[in-house]
Structures are given as C-alpha cells and as structure tokens.
Structure 1
Amino acid sequence: MGPISRRDFVRLGAGAVSVAAAAKSIALEPSVLAAQSAPSDRKIRFVSIGTGIRGCDLLRSAKKVQSGVCVGTADLYEMHRKAGVEAYGSEVPTTKDYRELLDRKDVDAVVVAVADFQHRHVVLDCVAAGKDVYCEKPMSHNVADGLAMVKAVQDGKRIFQAGSQRVSSTVFKKAAEIYKSGRLGEVTSIEAYTDRNSPSGAWVYPVAPDASAETIDWTTWLRDAPQRPFDAARFFRWRCFADYGEGVAGDLFVHLLSGMQCVTGINAIPERAYSTGSLTHFKDGRDFPDLLVTLYDYPGVRVNMHCNQNNAAGDITIFYGKESTLTINGNTLTVTSQDTRPQPEGYALDGWTAETKKKYLDDWHAAHPQAPAPLPATETYSAPQGSDDTADHLSNFFQAVVTREHVVEDEVFGNNCAIACHMANHSYFHKNVAMWDAASQTIKG
C-alpha cells in the first residue's frame, strides 16, 4: 500500500467509524391536528360526494378529526352509499343526487371523491353553492378543467384543498424543514418513484356482484364523457381509461409531485417534460401504460420520476444535494452527508513520477496539517406509530375553513401539480417533449 493509499485509508476509515458511531434515529412527534378542534371549537359540517374506495377511506379518517362532522353523503351506486355509512360509522343521510346536499344551508364544506373527469363539474357546483371544497387528487382531468376550477375558487373566495395527503405528513414536513435550512447544499437533481406489482396496484379491481345498470346510474355517471353502453369494468377501473382518469400520472405521479413541491417549496408548472414507457403486462383494453418514466425541468432542478406496475420496488423520493442526500422511503426520512472534505488527489497521480508525486503529497499535507473533521451524523426520522396523514390533511382543511387562510395544497398548488401530470401523459402519447406555454396556458409539443 503506497503512501497516498495508507493515508487515505486511515483518514477515511476513521471518518466512516465516526459516522456509524454518531448515527441518530429519531421518532417524530405525532401531529396534534387530528386530535384538536378547530379554532373557537367550531365543528365544520361537511358532506362527502363519492363514497367509493377513496371516499370511504376519507370518511374513516374523518372519524378521527374532532373539528369536522359528516352530515351527508352522495353516490351514484347503491352499494357505495351503504359502504359510506358503514365507513363513517354513523347514520348520515345519503342520496344519489349530490345537488340535494349542496342546497342545504347547514353544510360548510364538501369532500369530493369522484372520478377525475367529474371533478370540474362537481367542484364548480360546490363553489356556486357557496361551499368550501376538499377535492381528491389529481385536481383536474385536463388543463382547461384545472384553470376553470382555479378561477371559480378564487372568484368565489372559497377555501380549496387538493387531496394529496403527504403534504400534511410529519415526515414530509420534517423534510421541508431540513431542505429549507440549506443543510443539503445545492440540490440540482431529485428522483422519485412509487412502484406496484399486483393486479390491484394496476387498478384491476373486482366487479361487485350486484353491479348493473339498475344499481348504478350509468347515464349520470358518464355526464359529458363519450356515451357508451353500461360497462361495469369501466365504472370500477376508470383509472385505466383516458375518458375518465389520468393513468399512473394522475394516480401516482401526483403524490410524488406534491411531495416534491412541499419539500422544495417549488410551486410552479414544470418548463418541460419528456416521457417514455410501455404497456407490457396489463393488456386489458386500457389506454395508459403500466410503466411511465418522465424527466421534468423545474426552475433550478431536474426531476426524474417513474411508476412501474410490474415490480414493487417501493415508494422513494431522493433529494441529491451537494452536501447531503435526503431520502424519504415510505414513512422514514434519512439524511446522509456527502464527503466533501479536502483530500489529496490519488488517481491522477498514477501518471506522475515518484519524485513529483512525493513532492505533491508532502506539499498537500503541509497545507492541511489538521486531521479532517468527522462527517456529520447520518440522521433517520420515522413517522409516529399510528399516524394518519389523511386525517391530518382533513384537519388542515377544516381549520382553514374557519380561519379563511390558504392551505399549502390550495387551488394553485393543486393545479400546478395536476398540469405536470398532464404534461407527462401528453409527452408519452405524442412521443415528444411537452412544453408549458405560460402565455397561452397550454401544453405545446
């Protein structure tokens, strides 16, 4: 082992030991939002439009939030209406026509959990009725819908929150705190992915045994989507079809994008997006790929994102900083320092003579007489046991209904995130780079 290798071995070995010895594992404090009442102890009276999969999830979480009380639900499917009552665990009025709920003067807010293509109409009806709105992600089905929703919310002076709950996660809030502190150094690259490997993860949901044109109001459900005969598979697996959903971009990218925006503070539409992908396994008549990979250009940072429905590699977001790397893996956050401490050149000296190499090393060590400081400790933060990000997200919304202060994931944040999803799909289907044209408020390319 030559002089340079021996010195580096001792120096770097000592540093590695110090990192291992000083590693910190910290459990984050539970959020108190869901357990608290809203300011002035006012309970927000809300109704839920849509009590399918996500609608029932929201109602189960809403039971934990003391600042809100559900006073009604609506759904076009008979079983969904019954499931919603069971999910909330309380007998609340339920109807097929959501407009009956909007006519009620005792309703403060509405939780919208319908298919993507119905968001615009339902949200605009809610705003016209003077209600504040929590709308599930993605906020819109297309660019025009999102712009119309933003205008209606702002003109009506309504409180709006999009439903990507990781924005209220204790883990992502801690990540935002660390990012804002500058500890990561300059961040020029972000990677994010969430993968699944099951039919359910690709929305091949079972068709309920009682599903029929008699139990589901198919005509009303289609609304202004292309008319077609009753198709139970399309009703239950609507995310697969462009007439109703946004595929993996609208279901999964939207969480990654909203988390990225939350941590970095970037609240903007990407300048451009380039997608590739494939429909490899789930060739069941769907429109969308089961693998989508997109590169985004955001101001000052590049984002590499993918979702694969053929391999369950996890749900991970990584922020690559010059000084440290921040990784969020599920409910765990880790900050690992980069080794940027001064050290002598090694590889490039292989082409020097022994005499020249020795002089370089002697000079370098004379200029750096002190031993290098140990690397900062690796820090790991974990979400508190039993945490419910959806309950916290609903609590944020209910408090905003009282205070009239904007939430983080308001109509602008939600629309920017949704447009990024639309750009990913646009690039994939048009096989080119999708560019955002701010002047015309459209996707070009």
Structure 2
Amino acid sequence: MGKTDRDNFNRKSFIKKLGGAAAGVAGFPFVLGAGKRNSSRFEQRNPPLKNVGPNDYINLGLIGAGGKGQDNISAALRYNGFRMVAACDLYESRLKRCKEKFGDDIFTTTDHLELLNRNEVDAVIIASTDHWHHRHAVDALRHGKPVYLEKPMTKTIAEGHDLIEAEQSAGIPLQVGSQRTSHIVYEKAGELYKAGEIGKLNYVEGYWDRYSAKGAWQYTIPPNVSTDEVDWETFREDLPAIPFDPKHFFRWRNYDEYGTGIPGDLFVHLFSGLHMITGALGPEKITASGGLRYWHDGRDAEDLVLGIYDYPETDQHPAFNLFLRVNFIDGSGGGSRIRLVGSEGEMEVSWTKLIVRKGKMPELANPKVGDLDEETRKEVMAEYERKLSEKRAELIDPPEYEYNVPDGYSDGYDHMVNFYKSIRDGHEVLQNGTFGLRAAGPALLTTESLRTNTIVNWDPTEMKVN
C-alpha cells in the first residue's frame, strides 16, 4: 500500500470540525462520513529467488508425507530456495506419490531416523500425527536439522517444555507451522492495533466453522489397504497393541491416542493469530463447553467446541475477554474470522482481507427526558444545548477501511519464506517453540476444561497450569 493510502487512513488526518448546525445529529453515537468504504490491496511480496547458487539451496526432508506435508513441500519449493531430497512416511502409497510429484531420485523410508542420518538433508518439515510431533522434532534437532513443525507443536504441555529445551540446546531454528503468524493481513492488523486504531481492546471473538465431511476429518480410506502397505506397529509404538484399523490410521484426528481434537487442530490457529496481533502471551483462565452433535462415527473428539478465556492486563494490552468457536456441522457454510473490539472501533480479520470499522462515543449523552414534566424537560434540554454548543462533532471518514490480499496470495508460502530466512540469513523465527507452546497450551487445556467441566487456571508466562 502506498503512502497516500496510509495517510488517508491515519486517524489524525480525517478529523473534521462541524459547527453548531451539527446539533441535530448529536444524538448518534458518532457522525459518519458520506463516502463508501475505502479499500486498498497489498502488493505481492517475497518473489521466488533467482540465480540461486548450488550452496544456497536448503535440502529438505519430509517426515509425515500426507496431504499437509506434501502441501508444505510444494509451498517451500515455490520460493526456489529449497530442494526436496527425502521423505518419510508409514504408508507406501504416500512415498510413491512423493516420487511422482517431487522427483524419482528422492530418498524414501519408513524410518525417520534413517532420514535424519542422511548428510544431504539440511532441514526437515514435520507433518506427522500429533502424537509423533515431539519425538520427530526432538530427534531432528539433536541431529542438527532445523525444523518446521506442524501445529500443535506437541500433544502435551510437558512435551512442549521438553521440545523447547531441545530447541535451546540445539541453537537452530524451530518454526511452528501456524501460518497466520506470517500472514500479510495479520501483520497489518498488528500494526494498526499497536497504533491504537480501535482504541482500548476489550473483547475478541474468533471462529473456524466447517460444513463438509473432509472438514470434519472424514478423510479418504483407500480400499483394501492393509499392513502390507502400512507400518501399523510403528504408528502405534508405545501404545497398547490393537488390530489394524484403517480409520485410526487415516482419520487419526478423531481419536485421543493420536490427535488433539478441535482445539489442537484449529483453536491453536486462532490463538496464534491473536497473539501475533496483540503481543499477548495467553489467557489466565480457560472455560469450555461443547460436545458431539452430528458426526457419530465412533470418534473420541467433539465436533462442536466453545471456549471462553480471560486475558490479564500486560504491557502489550489491557485485560480483555476472548470467545472461540468451531462447529463441524455449520449449516450456514462455515468460514473463519477473528474480530477485535475496542473502545473506538473494531477489526475483522479473515484469510483474504482486513476490515477496520471506526467509532467514537460522544462525550455528551443524548438526554433521556420522556419521563420528566415539561418544565424539567426544557431545563434539561437547555443545559444540553448549551454544552453541545461548546463541542464540535467528529466526522469519521471513511467509517470503514478494507485491506485485501493480492491475487493468489498464500500465507503458507510466506511462512516457508520466513523459515528459509531463519536458516540461511539468521532472521528471527516468527513462531518458535515458546510462541508455539503459548498457543498450544491454552488449546490443549480447552479440551481438559470441557471434559472435566472445570475452570483451568493457566500461567501464560511460565506456560504452566496453576
């Protein structure tokens, strides 16, 4: 966005004064300008690298080569600073697909340690099931491989602290894969929030609703799949032995032994985005409700979860309340938003745009005189008109401003660019282990609150349950 656009939206640049003639509209909460919503579009950024030398490429290994892992590799390769050299997965078909997509010469294995021991692997993307995140990431860091780790960073809070210790001991990048922390819209929202564009924050609400079988984790199960193609024993390593169950392997998010439910999958994105915008470390009180309302398919996880969170006052923000919702049977069609409400407006953040709506509460309240006798009414109104004549109304123009992403924008691509820069150029990791646990911790505790019907008290600084 150019300088002119920024200036047009600067709060100080569009305050105009009205004379006493404004008294007729003084009863409104604020005076709006006559124009329609103004808007602008962000420019594309982070173009693919050109003239990359042989030593400038970062060779990637992929651990967990399902749909998300393959998508992450595709996003990374767009930057032209990465090369795909190895893949690890417990299902043979996925490894074959990696060779089809990324080159027949890539190394494939079902053993993540075999991949990590290969010298040509410089860094890894980990997109395995939640119950394997901790082991895969810790092993990678101990092998000196920078890690891009899908969210949630770990299945438990204790594992999160252990992973942070491994990250700090290794001294190499660990970036958690909640892409909103690299999203151009969230960056702008953080800039405007810190500039005070919506006044004093008091309330935030976010949702990520879905209306599809795939969105509710009813992932495809290939016909006739068996343990001839799936390493079932490794998948359930350290868990009690049970017969092979394709639903457990392919629809693992539904089951507590492998996944972290709606909060671990989707609330963690909402926490990450909010924390990036506001600089918050997390809530201090967590309350949740929900249940299984539609997808009665034998799953452990709920398909509707609601969370209420109290954020304490810090140097970065005032005390405020947060409400989160995910509904896997949203008949309105689903979608995702975060809405931040302040004393002078609100910001609505989505994947494709940021809308800022301005407001200004008048200093003088419109008199309520209907219950008074005529003489008293006249006295009250005369006093009100006298005070009003000394004030000048504020014209807020435009009442709304909209920022739109460029065509074809991908926050996943930007997140991979940031991962590259943290490795090659030493840039700060946007979502390191500590940031990741401060998003994952409250998400994991949401499920605990829901299932135990209790309020959970959380220390967002120390990242521990009180």
Query: Which stretches in structure 1 are left out of the alignment for 5+ residues?
Result: 1-5
Q: Which structure shows the higher helix fraction? A: 1
Q: Does 1:230 align with 2:251?
A: no
Instruction: Quote how far apart the aligned CAs of 1:359 are.
Output: 2.8
Equivalent in the alignment of 1:3 = none
Distance 2:85 2:110 in 1: 15
Q: Aligned ranges for residues 190-339 of structure 1 at < 5 Å?
A: 190-266=204-280, 268-299=281-312, 300-311=319-330, 312-339=333-360
Instruction: Quote how far apart the aligned CAs of 1:269 are.
Output: 3.8
Q: Does 1:413 align with 2:435?
A: yes
Q: Describe the superposition over 1:398-437 as per-residue Cα deviations: whole angstroms up to 9, x where unpaired.
A: 1101233431211100011111111101101111111225
Q: Describe the superposition over 1:323-367 as per-residue Cα deviations: whole angstroms up to 9, x where unpaired.
A: 110001331110001231334423x32222233233333333333
8 Å CA contact 2:179–2:415 kept in 1: the answer is yes
The verdict on how the C-alpha distance between 1:392 and 1:125 changes in structure 2, with shifts beyond 3 A counting, is same
Instruction: Quote how far apart the aligned CAs of 1:86 are.
Output: 3.5
Instruction: Quote how far apart the aligned CAs of 1:14 are.
Output: 9.8
Distance 2:51 2:380 in 1: 67
The amino acid of 2:304's aligned partner reads L
Identify the range of structure 1 (94-103 vs 348-357) with the bigger mean alpha-carbon deviation.
Answer: 348-357
Distance 1:188 1:68 in 2: 43
Identity %: 31
Instruction: Quote how far apart the aligned CAs of 1:438 are.
Output: 7.3
Q: Aligned ranges for residues 41-440 of structure 1 at < 5 Å?
A: 42-88=56-102, 91-266=105-280, 268-299=281-312, 300-311=319-330, 312-346=333-367, 348-369=368-389, 371-377=392-398, 378-436=400-458
The verdict on how the C-alpha distance between 1:8 and 1:207 changes in structure 2, with shifts beyond 3 A counting, is farther
What is the SS of the residue equivalent to 2:288? strand
Instruction: Quote how far apart the aligned CAs of 1:36 are.
Output: 7.0
What is the SS of the residue equivalent to 1:374? strand
What is the SS of the residue equivalent to 1:79? helix
8 Å CA contact 1:59–1:84 kept in 2: the answer is no
What is the SS of the residue equivalent to 1:100? helix
8 Å CA contact 1:62–1:394 kept in 2: the answer is yes
The verdict on how the C-alpha distance between 1:114 and 1:13 changes in structure 2, with shifts beyond 3 A counting, is closer
Distance 2:334 2:121 in 1: 43
Distance 1:239 1:38 in 2: 39
Query: Which stretches in structure 2 are left out of the alignment for 5+ residues?
Result: 1-21, 313-318
Distance 2:362 2:53 in 1: 49
8 Å CA contact 1:161–1:410 kept in 2: the answer is yes
Identify the range of structure 1 (136-145 vs 310-319) with the bigger mean alpha-carbon deviation.
Answer: 310-319
Instruction: Quote how far apart the aligned CAs of 1:193 are.
Output: 0.4
8 Å CA contact 2:209–2:335 kept in 1: the answer is yes
Instruction: Quote how far apart the aligned CAs of 1:33 are.
Output: 5.7
Equivalent in the alignment of 1:15 = 31
8 Å CA contact 1:31–1:170 kept in 2: the answer is no
Q: Calculate the TM-score normalised by the size of structure 2.
A: 0.88
The amino acid of 1:298's aligned partner reads Y
The amino acid of 1:307's aligned partner reads V
The amino acid of 1:340's aligned partner reads M
8 Å CA contact 1:119–1:135 kept in 2: the answer is yes
Q: Calculate the TM-score normalised by the size of structure 1.
A: 0.92
Distance 1:13 1:122 in 2: 55
The verdict on how the C-alpha distance between 1:387 and 1:440 changes in structure 2, with shifts beyond 3 A counting, is closer
Instruction: Quote how far apart the aligned CAs of 1:371 are.
Output: 4.7
Equivalent in the alignment of 2:3 = none
Distance 1:429 1:12 in 2: 46
What is the SS of the residue equivalent to 1:82? helix
The verdict on how the C-alpha distance between 1:344 and 1:424 changes in structure 2, with shifts beyond 3 A counting, is closer
8 Å CA contact 1:30–1:170 kept in 2: the answer is no
Distance 1:180 1:438 in 2: 21
8 Å CA contact 2:63–2:124 kept in 1: the answer is yes
Instruction: Quote how far apart the aligned CAs of 1:35 are.
Output: 5.0
8 Å CA contact 1:41–1:67 kept in 2: the answer is no
Distance 1:379 1:439 in 2: 35
Q: Describe the superposition over 1:88-119 as per-residue Cα deviations: whole angstroms up to 9, x where unpaired.
A: 46742222222122112232211000000000
Distance 1:333 1:440 in 2: 32
Instruction: Quote how far apart the aligned CAs of 1:195 are.
Output: 0.2
Distance 2:119 2:54 in 1: 21
8 Å CA contact 1:434–1:443 kept in 2: the answer is yes
Instruction: Quote how far apart the aligned CAs of 1:70 are.
Output: 1.5
The verdict on how the C-alpha distance between 1:156 and 1:208 changes in structure 2, with shifts beyond 3 A counting, is same
Number of residue equivalences: 435
The list of structure 1 runs, each at least 4 consecutive aligned residues, that deviate by more than 4 angstroms after superposition, is 6-14, 33-41, 437-442
